Structure 1
């Protein structure tokens, strides 16, 4: 049978009210009594009923987070970082996966509301969609703040913290141009999704600044942003032509798919074709050829997103509701001077 407040009170010879106040570290109880109560609770294996507590206070002490797909290392790293930061702040984390489906994303939000979540961190889907404003409205009606992390929906009145992927891609492509590359292929997701469109803007800016025309055939769209899609895109590219000297992939997982496909076709990296990725994940390090990538500072991004969310939960309005975290290039063996 589960231990109750009454059991602790009986053991210590004090009232249940005092036990409750002590467990909640209320200033009305002296430190000596608090210590005795906490020790007794531990000895008797007392676990507070968080559901009942939430009903009483109308607070769950829980933050919800949605990611598109935990099979992508980048998103798994976000979950790991956010969980640690949220726990340090004294909150629990409830994680859910949207399967990159906007409708599922909306359903998750409504579930979060029913569970009295105090705030939501959301990584938007990578699918083209007209933003479903109904769930944002529902969150506002229940006074539950929302902060987008690592991406955003391009609508008014949102808060977000994300790596500056436009600037990061600009830096990567500029790096390739400085190595003598002019025919640079970009492989990403759907162009209407911000995580791809912002990168394409950075790609275009780097070429334009160097007087290099933007060739539409070098902008490749994939149905997804996984390894397999990058392999397929690279295979189709090689069937059509071999005149390019560099490939900029949307993330490290896709970059690894590109590298492996090129090597399978007996094309050397970087001697024949240079390759760069993004996010500086494990994929850039385990590749037979270390992949030049862009570190998007996941820890810093997650910390600032959680801090912003906590500010709003406390009733404070962040001074800056839109934060772009500057990335840093990590150069490895996959990018080298153009040979032709």
Structure 2
């Protein structure tokens, strides 16, 4: 960890071609350190993830809180306990000896960490990131995921790389003249076709389905759809319903809920929305937007109240401008 800090953050590649073809010593060191910490038998997987997000990737506690849906206080306590536990467990134990024993469990933990890092970068609520996308963080997660795949050749990692490619490929169209642009209105000519092709080359149906394969399928369907009609949304709904069997996340359910709304299955969407509310913190940004959208026709006053509350708490100018100009939900 000291070596990583001395080097500073691993310099992201200037473009994806370079990242794809040349792993860096910093990324290899980061991967080895993450695998080392992930092998801990004294810390829970959740504690490992939070500790690594904070101490290896330098994310702040607020960003970790938004990603994990845990309170900032709980995260502080978990990281401090993990720090003490790691010291006791790994004192005088060389990294290389432990990482040689890396198994499936450690690889899964690293995948979850890289997935979290990428998502925080792709949809950043950090006020310092004016464009919403922290591209450096996205490319960093991509580069380390590629190192992980080179070492262990896991289908789940390959599909994680596919997911990263599909998302990074549309970054050039996500912001236009300083304005946030919804996926449905993006200029597809600006999407990186080479990255989309690379994404499809990574996309691989495993013998046993996993969440990254299903998420990659969803992303690919959004990017290849001829139109976002009811038929499209019903296909998306089926995939999200399948995804809920592999990943019991309220965010997955929220995406499913939005899909139901878009497919004109409003009553199903409202029932699911009521269930999701119990699992998310009060005032969750995307939950509030979905709820406001669902209530816009039936109870417009309540919808307006929710949107006003979102605007009051939103600190990023680019998001405020988007909501004011569109009143829509971004993907």
For the aligned pair, the TM-score class normalised by the smaller chain equals under 0.3
TM-score of the pair, normalised by structure 1: 0.26
By percentage of residues, which structure has more helix? 2
Structure possessing the higher relative contact order (Cα contacts under 8 Å, 6 or more residues apart): 1
TM-score of the pair, normalised by structure 2: 0.27
Is the radius of gyration larger for structure 1 or structure 2?
A: 1
